[in-house]
Amino acid sequence: MTSFTTFYLSGIIGKEAFDSDGNAVGVIRDLITITVSGDDSDTYRQAVTGIRLRIKKEIKDYSFRTFRVVKARDLLNVTCSELIEMPAAEVETGLLLVENVLDKQIVDLNGRKLVRVNDIRLVTVSTGTFAIAVDIGIDGILRRIGIGQPLKRLFSLFKVNIPTKYILWDDVQTIDYSNLNIKLSKSYSRLNTLHPSDLADILEDLGKKSSISVFSALDEEKAADVLEELEPHAQVHLVENLPVDKVADVLEKMPADEVADILDEIGDEKAEMLLSEMDDESSQEVRELLEYSDNSVGSLMTTDFLSFRPDTRVEEVINFLREKKPEPSELYNMFVTAENDELAGSFDLRDLVIAQPEKKVREIMNPEPISLLDDQKLNDIAELISKYNLLAVPVVDENNQLQGRVVVDDVVEDLISERKTGKRQK
C-alpha cells in the first residue's frame, strides 16, 4: 500500500522547522515549486523543490529534498536532516506558493471565472511532495484563522457541514502575481481554451495591470474575439495601453465595423496611429465606416459579406464556402451583385442547400431583396427587421451599390446599449 500524507499550506506557514535533534532551525515562510511531467506526457504536477525559512533576521531558501512533513493527530511537524542552500537560479524559475498564489486571483478553467485562493492542499508520497489543489471555499478561510476544526465539531452537532471547495491544480491558471517575470506552473496557453465571452468577463474583473498581461499573451485570433466581447471602457483601456503594432495586428483580425466602434472611442491621434499601422485594405474599410454619422445605418453596418455574380453555379458557391469557412452570421444572407456591384438579389443557406448543383444563383435568388440606404436613420432598422423577420439586411448607397449589411445581433446590441445609457451608442 502506498503511504502518503496530505496537508495544507496554512498548516505549516509560520511554524518552526526542526533538525533531527529536535532543535528549531527557522520559521517556514514559503514553499517553492516547479512544474514536472506526470505519469504521461499530457499531465503535469507541481513539485515542491524548495523551502523558504526565516533564520533569525535572514530569509534563506533551501532544497526541500532533505525536509519531511509528518502528520500525527492533525498536528504537522516539519523536520530536516540537513540544510542545503538552494541555488538562486532555481528559486527564480520556481513558483512561490505564498507569495504568488495564496490570496491571489486565479482562473478556474472549468468554472470559467476568477476565484481567490484561500489555501493550498499538498501531498507527500514516495516520489516527493506536490501541490495538488487550491481551496477556494469558506473552509479554507476558517482554517487559516484557526477556527476551522472547532466550528466543524460544533456544526456537526446540528448536522451542518462547512462546504469545502477545491480546484485541482491542473484546472488552475495563475494570473494575479507580484513578480511578472516568474515562470508560472502553466503558460497562458490554456486560457485560449476558454470561450471569448468568458475570457472577456475575466479580463473585466481583473486589475488593469493583470488584464494587459493576460490579453498580451493571447494569440491574435483569440485576442480579436475577446476584444469584440469586452465593454467599451475595457476595450479603450487595452487599446491605449498596449503597443501600437500589437493592437494593430489584433484589429486586422476583427470586422471593420467593430474596429470603427473602438477607434471612435479613443483619441484621434491614437486612432490615426493604429490605422496607419494596419494593412491598407483593413485600414481603408475602417476609414470609410468612420465617415458615417453616428445615427446613420452606415455606422452600424459591417463590410464583411458574401456576394456572387448571377451566373455563378450553386456548386461553385458551396465549394467557395467550404474553403473560406465564413462566420455563421455571414451565412444569414448572401448577395448577388452585377458587374458594377449593384445589388441584384439575395439568397440564404436553405436556398443554396436544396438547389441542384448545376443551377445558377440567379435562379435561386430573391430578385427584389429588402435593403437599407447607408445614410438612413438607425431608427428605421428595427422596424424593418421586425416587419420582415430578417436576420440580416443589405445596405446600399444612392446608386444601389452594395456597401455592407446590418446584422440583427448588432441591432439588438445597439438598442440595449441605448436603453442602458439613455442615449444612442455606437
Lowest-confidence segment of 152-156, 294-298, 341-345, 416-420 by average pLDDT: 416-420
Reported as a single tens digit per residue, the pLDDT across 259-301 is: 998 998 898 899 999 999 999 999 999 998 998 888 888 988 8
* Cα–Cα distance measured from residue 52 to residue 60, given in angstroms and rounded to the nearest whole number: 6
DSSP 184-226: -SS-GGGGGGS-HHHHHHHHHHS-HHHHHHHHHHS-HHHHHHH
- Confidence at 158, pLDDT banded by 50, 70, 90: low
Please tell me the number of Cα atoms within 13 Å of 277 on its side-chain side.
Answer: 16
Highest mean pLDDT among 103-117, 193-207, 309-323: 309-323
Which residues have a Cβ under 8 Å from the Cβ of 313 and sit 6 or more positions away?
357, 358, 359, 360, 361
Highest mean pLDDT among 42-46, 165-169, 198-202, 345-349: 345-349
3-state secondary structure 283-332: HHHHHHHHCCCCCEHHHCCECCCCEECCCCEHHHHHHHHHHHCCCHHHHC
Q: Report angle CA 296, 300, 305 to the nearest 5 degrees.
A: 125
The confidence score (pLDDT) of residue 40 equals: 54
* Cα–Cα distance measured from residue 24 to residue 41, given in angstroms and rounded to the nearest whole number: 40
- Confidence at 159, pLDDT banded by 50, 70, 90: low
Reported as a single tens digit per residue, the pLDDT across 91-130 is: 988 889 999 888 887 777 666 677 788 999 999 988 899 9
Cell matching residue 399: 446608386
The answer to whether residues 371 and 394 touch, using CB atoms and an 8 Å cutoff, is yes
Which CA distances in Å does 209 have to 103, 134, 168, 262, 322?
17, 24, 26, 20, 41
Q: Give the domain 194-291 fold.
A: MgtE N-terminal fold (1.25.60)
Mean pLDDT of 237-258: 92
- Confidence at 153, pLDDT banded by 50, 70, 90: low
* Predicted confidence (pLDDT) at residue 419 exceeds the cutoff of 50: no
Which CA distances in Å does 192 have to 117, 189, 255?
22, 6, 20
| Boundaries of every domain in the chain | 5-174, 194-291, 307-421
The 343-347 sheet, strands edge to edge: 307-308, 334-337, 343-347
Residue 217's Cβ-count burial label (10 Å; 0-12, 13-18, 19+) is middle
Report the candidate in 40, 72, 52, 47 with the shortest Cα–Cα distance to residue 128.
47
Q: What proportion of the chain, given as a percentage, has pLDDT over 90?
A: 46
Report the candidate in 373, 375, 370, 331 with the shortest Cα–Cα distance to residue 353.
331
The confidence score (pLDDT) of residue 147 equals: 61
CATH number of 307-421: 3.10.580.10
Q: Is the full-model pTM beyond 0.75? A: no
* Cα–Cα distance measured from residue 104 to residue 225, given in angstroms and rounded to the nearest whole number: 27
Cell matching residue 141: 478561510
